Structure 1
Amino acid sequence: MATSSPDSASSFSARWLRGLSLVLLATVAVSLQNVITRIALSPKAIPILGGIINLGGYIDPTADKMQVTLLELLLRISFVVPLSWLIMPVFKPGAWGEARSVIVGSDRMLKLQIVAAGIFLFLSQIGIYLSIANIGPAMAITIFFTYPTVTTLLAWKLFSDRPSLQQWLAIILIYIGCAWLAFKPIDQNLFCPPICVKHPPSAAALPPAPNQTPTPNASNAPTIPKPATQPNPIIGYLAAIISSIVFALEGIIAQACFSKVNPATFTALVFTVEWLVLMAVTLPFIHVDINQELILMGGLLCLTTFATYLFSNFGIKAIGAASTAIIVSSRPAVTSILALLIIGDTLLPEQWGSIIVVTAGVVLMNVAKAMKKPT
């Protein structure tokens, strides 16, 4: 009987540990991206690492959250698109030629699928950014991680891939955890902008000074500043749910396209479609000032995006997609821990409990998927 040599076993262990480290780094990178998004969209400076430095407060507190979200996402994707085309040949030699054949080719269905995937990715990222701005990264990412359940149910509907008993149990756990999280009141002090402007009394309400005739239209009458926009938990929850649904749709389209085009080429094309959509819906309508700090935040978000992509791809090569998916399941918990450590984003014990339940459900979902035998 042939047995593996100690050297080959040692090589396998080293490769597996290297892959595990890379996937863990990818998980930290994407979780860090969520925390940076919270900082970029915050209307106030946030103490970092207990007050070592303050970051954030780069936007007007009265600015519309949707416009700010669109602007920051546009800044991020404006870095991502050229970088994705530059590094694409690293993952797929000849990828530029493959991308050109897709663009000028006659496969209209593939083109429509790529455009649809780009639009869905745009909607998903807008939703998660808006959710993070309203309920914070920990809760937003936890609710977003309902997307594996949507993908599983869509696969059952579209491809007759019936969920296993373990997958049904995982779906129930994830939805119970999300419902527990959503119906727990949020401490508004955690997400309230720093400048909650109170309405000063109007000129008509001020008593006239002695021997002075009231002058409601006097030029020195106090002005009423526009109140700062307040976080809205309902918008945050709904945005995270919508984001998870459209992200699952994008994933289904991606699976259908991978038989025709390499994932690296597909990703670059989808990012490009997203950038074009953002340009079309953002530049004509937003009225938010761009400053150096927001551009820097966009660059940091781009770096974490590619760190996630690079570490994930090389990690998958070392330990396989199934093991990677199980490790990726820890992202809600890792995001919550990093948000606590970096920006002091505290949660109630019940909220931690719901995050643990959702994380356990996602882990079970991916374990069940890995163990499921194809029919």
Structure 2
Amino acid sequence: IITVLLSWVLFGDRPSIVRTCAMVIIGLGAILVLPSGTGNYQQGVLAGVGAGITFSGYVLLTQMSAGKLHPIPFSLINFAGIFVFSALGLIMPKPIEWSANIDTTVWSGLIVGGIFLGILTLSSYVLNSFAIRFAGAARASIIGTFGPALTALLALFTIGEVLGVKQVFGIILVIIGVAAMSFERMFGRKKEEGRS
């Protein structure tokens, strides 16, 4: 949703009726995915919104620089920025309730796991940049629509995170909304190419 709105502001790419309907569907899906029951989820929800805003900035920067920069240096620049800001975030003083109590015997596993996760994430971003460069942002985002479902499946198999029916329906709505926007963009470009 944020990417579409920022594209409108930055590039004058006004949302069509299909995109507007898709944004409403995505918004409804996002509301359904929110956790219910007891617990304080406000920080997690705010972090998720912040992640969505920053990721849309990443997608727009990737699209703007797709013809100017090679995907590998672009991804390395991104990760250098992430490293710097993450380090600053770890150094900054935080409230005591935010601090984690980590057993010192698991540090080696955390470091190895962090390096492994960093390599996988870097590979994912490099491949995503190649996909945007060679297939276009619309086609690359169609494949990306399966991200929420794959994340939920991975959470189920790795940590036993079970989603309720409402949350599964929310994920399905988000996938449908994002896919509708991606297909609309892809078919819109084909129509423009056919006219010229």
Q: Matches of residues 215-364 of structure 1 in structure 2 within 5 Å?
A: 232-283=40-91, 285=93, 291-309=107-125, 311-312=127-128, 320-321=135-136, 322-364=138-180
Higher deviation after alignment, 333-342 or 165-174? 333-342
- Letter of the aligned partner of 2:26 in structure 1? I
Q: Output one character per residue of 1:318-374: Cα deviation in whole Å (capped at 9) or x when no partner.
A: 8x2343321210111111122112221111111111111111111111111212236
Offset at residue 156 of structure 1 (A): 0.9
Cross-structure match for 1:177: 29
The structure whose residues are more often helix, as a share, is: 2
Higher deviation after alignment, 150-159 or 301-310? 301-310
CA RMSD across the alignment: 2.8
Contact 1:150 1:248 in 2 (8 A): yes
Q: Give the 3-state SS of the residue equivalent to 1:243 in structure 2.
A: helix
Cross-structure match for 2:7: 155
- Counterpart-to-counterpart distance in 2, 1:236 and 1:359: 21
- Counterpart-to-counterpart distance in 1, 2:123 and 2:82: 19
Q: Output one character per residue of 1:56-84: Cα deviation in whole Å (capped at 9) or x when no partner.
A: xxxxxxxxxxxxxxxxxxxxxxxxxxxxx
TM-score by length of 2: 0.78
Q: Matches of residues 125-144 of structure 1 in structure 2 within 5 Å?
A: none
Offset at residue 171 of structure 1 (A): 0.5
- Counterpart-to-counterpart distance in 1, 2:186 and 2:87: 39
Contact 1:155 1:161 in 2 (8 A): yes
CA distance 1:306–1:278, change in 2 (3 Å): closer
- Letter of the aligned partner of 2:159 in structure 1? I
Q: Give the 3-state SS of the residue equivalent to 1:162 in structure 2.
A: coil
Contact 1:174 1:362 in 2 (8 A): yes
- Letter of the aligned partner of 1:351 in structure 2? Q
Contact 1:164 1:372 in 2 (8 A): no
- Letter of the aligned partner of 1:332 in structure 2? P
Computing the radius of gyration over CA atoms, which structure comes out larger, 1 or 2?
1
CA distance 1:267–1:315, change in 2 (3 Å): closer
Consecutive unaligned residues of structure 1, counting only runs of 5 or more, are 1-148, 189-230
- Letter of the aligned partner of 1:304 in structure 2? L
- Counterpart-to-counterpart distance in 2, 1:285 and 1:261: 36
Offset at residue 301 of structure 1 (A): 0.9
Consecutive unaligned residues of structure 2, counting only runs of 5 or more, are none
Q: Give the 3-state SS of the residue equivalent to 2:7 in structure 1.
A: helix
- Counterpart-to-counterpart distance in 2, 1:315 and 1:266: 13
Higher deviation after alignment, 293-302 or 280-289? 280-289
- Counterpart-to-counterpart distance in 1, 2:148 and 2:79: 24
CA distance 1:359–1:370, change in 2 (3 Å): same
- Counterpart-to-counterpart distance in 2, 1:325 and 1:284: 35
CA distance 1:273–1:164, change in 2 (3 Å): same
Identity %: 28
- Counterpart-to-counterpart distance in 2, 1:341 and 1:302: 21
> Is 1:371 aligned with 2:187?
yes
- Letter of the aligned partner of 2:36 in structure 1? P
CA distance 1:366–1:261, change in 2 (3 Å): same
